[in-house]
Amino acid sequence: MTAVLLVAHGSSDPRAAAATRALTRAVAAQRPGLDVRCAFLDHAGPRPGEQLAAFAALGHRAATVVPLLLTNAFHGRFDLPAVLRRARAEGLDLDVSTTEVLGAGAPPLLLSALRRLLPPVAYDGVVLAAAGTRDDLARHSVDVAAAALGASLGVPCAAAYASASPVTGAAAVAALRARGCERIAVSSYFLAPGKLHDLVVGSALAAGALAPVAAPLCANLDVARLVVARIGAFGLTRAA
């Protein structure tokens, strides 16, 4: 069996860990030949080093790590590589490779999940609610996803952030209204629920966006298919 480790950021909200574990089960169901487990960089456990050591103890000689991240910001570029370096320094005897983050390039399966999770309401604009980051390139990748989602839906779509940006949910709603949108839906650019998701979505709803809002992405089977695609079809790179 091939060892696969899905690594999420983690959250103090227990709903996030539950959603990550549900996604792990969905990926395993897609590919019965994979030994699929999850780990968390913060808050919840287990940690990546623990799971990789467990793989090695079972006799696995290699493992593929899939970052459950939508942007390649600090957690993807620094936190996760540092965790993997530390595991090797502590004696991990396992060949570890890492895939791209799930949001890289706004892949079709991700856009499909975003479309499928939108509630069945009439809308003429969409807010893409995201966590937020100080990393300009990471924020740009969210804007790219918003533009791609809007193009696929045929309506304007504006990114909004829970933190590290003045573009709140309410600001995105106002920007869409200025473009002539009257009925604005909310799409969730989050893999799992949590406090940041609630914050940006609440801001958009308070400004008049439509309820209900889209569920986070772990709720859609296309995300499990995207994880499998990242493992099998996207170029693997040796972890730093």
Mean local confidence (pLDDT), 212-233: 93
Task: Give residues with Cβ within 8 angstroms of 152, minimum separation 6.
Answer: 111, 115
Question: Which residues are 90's β-sheet partners?
Answer: none
Q: Are 7 and 80 in contact (CB under 8 A)?
A: yes
Q: Are 87 and 52 in contact (CB under 8 A)?
A: yes
3-state secondary structure of 204: helix
Q: Is pLDDT larger for residue 156 or for residue 133?
A: 156
pTM of the model: 0.91
Q: Which of 111, 110, 129 is nearest to 185 (CA)?
A: 129
Q: Determine the pLDDT at residue 2.
A: 85
Cα–Cα dist 68/5, whole Å: 10
pLDDT tier at 167 (50, 70, 90 boundaries)?
Answer: very high
Q: Is the pLDDT of residue 235 over 50?
A: no
pLDDT tier at 182 (50, 70, 90 boundaries)?
Answer: very high
Domain boundaries defined on the chain: 2-103+221-238, 108-219
CATH of 2-103+221-238 given 3.40.50.20, 3.40.50.1400, 3.40.50.300, 3.40.50.150:
3.40.50.1400
- Give residue-wise pLDDT tens across range 102-155: 999 899 999 999 999 999 999 999 999 999 888 888 899 999 999 999 999 999
- Placement of tokens 């169901």 in the chain: 29
Cα–Cα dist 69/66, whole Å: 9
The third-level CATH classification (topology) of the domain covering 108-219 is Rossmann fold (3.40.50)
Q: Which helix (H) or strand (E) holds 113?
A: helix 108-117
Cα–Cα dist 181/185, whole Å: 10
Asked, colleague to colleague, whether 2-103+221-238 and 108-219 share their fold, the answer is yes
